[in-house]
Amino acid sequence: MPSKPNLLFICSDQQRTDTIGAYGNDWIETPALNDLASRSFVFENAYVTQPVCSPARSTMMTGLYPHSAGVVRNSQPGRPFSSLFPDAKTIAEIVSDDYVCAKYGKWHLGDDLSPQHGFTEWVSTEDAHDGNYPNWVDPKHKDRKSDYFDYLVAQGHEPEGDYEGHKSHTQTQRGFFPAEDTMAAFLSRNTVEFINERSEDGKPWLMYVNMFEPHPPYNGPLNDMYDPASLPMGPLFLKKPEANTPAFNRVRAEFHIAEVEEAHPDDPAGYWRELRARYFGNVTVLDRGIGPILKALEDSGQADNTVVVFTSDHGDSLGDRGMTNKRSFYDEVARVPLIIHVPWLSKAETRVDGNIGHTDLVPTLLDLMGEDVPDHLQGSSRKAVLEGSTELTDDVFMQWHGGAATVPLGNAEIERLSEIPWRCVVSGDRWKLNLSPDDTCELYDLNSDPLELTNLYTDADQADRVRDMTARIKDWQQRTGDDLELGV
């Protein structure tokens, strides 16, 4: 093990697990991620802490659950900018001062434009998310733009403005930028430059590069790469949730399916297929941005000294169960890719069974880097799992604090139901319990029912299991300071 290994953490946005060859997708073009997986630890069941952007990202940065990090919603009433608690330290504030710490791309934890929380190297890509938390605290900063915005203007593009001219995204509803000007390509070039600079000065470094792809609006330069008619849809495609499942999911499915049928009466399924094809096109856009970064590590001689992590903040329903977007505990949304390359521990693909939660990332990475792991972190180091001396057998916990965030979810009933909180545990023996005080609870046997189609919550034969798993959620709540009254 090197004395001061580097860390390259690559996070995509809204990427399902089944979008990479390493997770069984044998037709999509993701050569960079496939190559990375071929020499890495590939975790079979990695879960986010909350299936929406800001809370999930707060965990990846701090090793804390969202309620402890201070970010429980994308747009949080009473706390400006959905920013982290001031005392919630990121990994950049925990590592030794020897490290050059960089954050390139999406931040989504407050002011996206300004270096903060221990990160001194910073490339910004968004000016504002919406009127609830623009990036300026002082009105005199209202005209500030992101680095990506300035880049797009320099290339002759007109970035789309969603809030008083702010917010520059790779994809837009009215069109898209060419491949070389996507956010993935922009961040790729900047990250390659950073890696090459570090090879010259010899300083150890930590880099979080947060890509935008394949996040909606499902539009990009590779829209036509995959044929919608030939895409495998799977058994969940447009399959509405059963009557004994949460109203939040049932109402969303009814709304989304009806909305598409009204807008595309001749071929509603074709619309969903095209949406999915465009989404997969943007996964390939993402992969093409990752490729040069990994090559730069090799070319600069730093590959053997660098831990590389790839994951995502959550997935996307993409028409499964008749829904789109995020905000559910089903595996197509809450389970994400997780690939960790540790050069001195593995040179070949190593599958890791069991469950791992994103709270374990920061302590594991600190441990791999030879840094102290603070006691306040709420996850555990899984270095011993990577070394092969133990296995993943623990429970994984997730939460939903409610909130329609800053975007309309369809209608008033959907947004009302979105405010209902939830808690979830995925047990070490692969059962999933979803609890809510005001909606239909769920229990799934992921061993025999991996698609989560048969809700066993009210099955008399599972009463003891429900009580036991409920007790484990409540014990976790007490340990982590989560004060939600589940009412069960």
CATH architecture group of domain 6-391: 3-Layer(aba) Sandwich (3.40)
The set of residues, in sequence order, having a beta carbon less than 8 Å from that of 190 and lying 6+ positions away, is: 104, 123
Report the DSSP pairing between strands 6-12 and 442-445: unpaired
Whose tokens are 């090793």? That residue is 63
In 179-206, which positions are buried (b, 16+ CB within 10 angstroms) versus exposed (e)? eebbbbbbbbbbbbebbeebeeeeebbb
Q: What is the chain's pLDDT, residue by residue, as a tens digit (488 residues)?
A: 788 999 999 999 999 999 999 999 999 999 999 999 999 999 999 999 999 989 999 999 999 999 999 988 876 655 555 588 888 999 999 999 999 999 999 988 878 888 999 999 999 998 765 555 555 555 666 677 889 988 988 998 877 766 666 666 655 555 688 999 999 999 999 999 999 999 988 899 999 999 999 998 888 999 999 999 999 999 999 999 999 999 999 999 999 999 999 999 999 999 999 999 999 999 999 999 999 999 999 999 999 999 999 999 999 999 999 998 898 999 999 999 999 999 999 889 999 999 999 999 999 999 999 999 999 999 999 999 999 999 999 999 999 987 655 567 888 899 899 999 999 999 999 999 999 999 999 999 999 999 999 999 999 999 999 999 999 999 999 999 999 999 88
Among 233, 420, 429, residue whose Cα is nearest residue 329? 420
Query: Which H helix or E strand runs over 226?
Result: none
Q: Tokens 């495998």 belong to which residue?
A: 232
**Closest of 55, 61, 107 to residue 397, by C-alpha:** 55
- On whether the CB atoms of residues 156 and 128 are closer than 8 A, the answer is no
Euclidean distance between CA atoms 168 and 212, whole angstroms: 11
